Structure 1
Amino acid sequence: MCLALPVQIMRLLDAQRALVNLGGIEKEISIALLDQVSEGDYVILHVGYALTKLNEEEAQKTLKLFAEMKGQAQ
């Protein structure tokens, strides 16, 4: 099963790489597949690549669902 997660761009490193916050951990990802990504944007991350931009409302809704599922699994 593959899982794509919403993450927020914390810092642009160059035109093809960025740092994101992934559950409190900073991770370097590729933004090479996207145009015009800015710090603060939310993107869908899959295997180290940002696939698409996501608005903040949708990102927060999805992150909330993941948190609820995690709570139910414990």
Structure 2
Amino acid sequence: MCLAIPMQIEAIEGYVARCQAKGVYRDVSLFMLQDEMPAVGDYVMVHVGYAIQTMTEAEARSAWELFDEILCESDQPTEHA
């Protein structure tokens, strides 16, 4: 399964952005978005180290809520018959 994570851009140097999500920081390539470069403060979907699309803050928050829900469910013990 492939997964992309929403992250917020905190700094940009060339085609590399320093991004963060929930206290985790990563250097992310903006090369795939060079035709419509995002700015500091924007949210991007990050997949294997590349920003693959920009998104709104509301979309990013919604995605994180869903991820949190999935993680919470996976922590619940399962019943066996």
TM-score (norm 1): 0.89
| Rg comparison, structure with higher value | 2
Partners of 2:16 and 2:30 within 8 A in 1: yes
Counterpart in 1 of 2:79?
none
- Does residue 1:11 correspond to 2:11, yes or no? yes
* Residue identity in the other structure for 1:10: E
Unaligned 5+ runs, structure 2: 76-81
Q: State the alpha-carbon separation in 2 of the partners of residues 26 and 6 from structure 1.
A: 12
* Residue identity in the other structure for 1:29: V
Query: Percent of counterpart pairs with the same letter?
Result: 36
Partners of 2:45 and 2:51 within 8 A in 1: yes
Q: State the alpha-carbon separation in 2 of the partners of residues 10 and 72 from structure 1.
A: 31
* Residue identity in the other structure for 1:49: Y
Q: State the alpha-carbon separation in 2 of the partners of residues 52 and 18 from structure 1.
A: 13
Unaligned 5+ runs, structure 1: none
Q: Which consecutive segments of 4 or more residues in structure 1 shift more than 6 A?
A: none
TM-score (norm 2): 0.82
Residue 41 of structure 1, CA deviation = 0.6
Counterpart in 1 of 2:20?
21
Aligned-residue Cα RMSD (Å) equals 1.1
Counterpart in 2 of 1:70?
71
Partners of 2:30 and 2:37 within 8 A in 1: no
Counterpart in 1 of 2:54?
53
Q: State the alpha-carbon separation in 2 of the partners of residues 30 and 8 from structure 1.
A: 13
Residue 42 of structure 1, CA deviation = 0.6
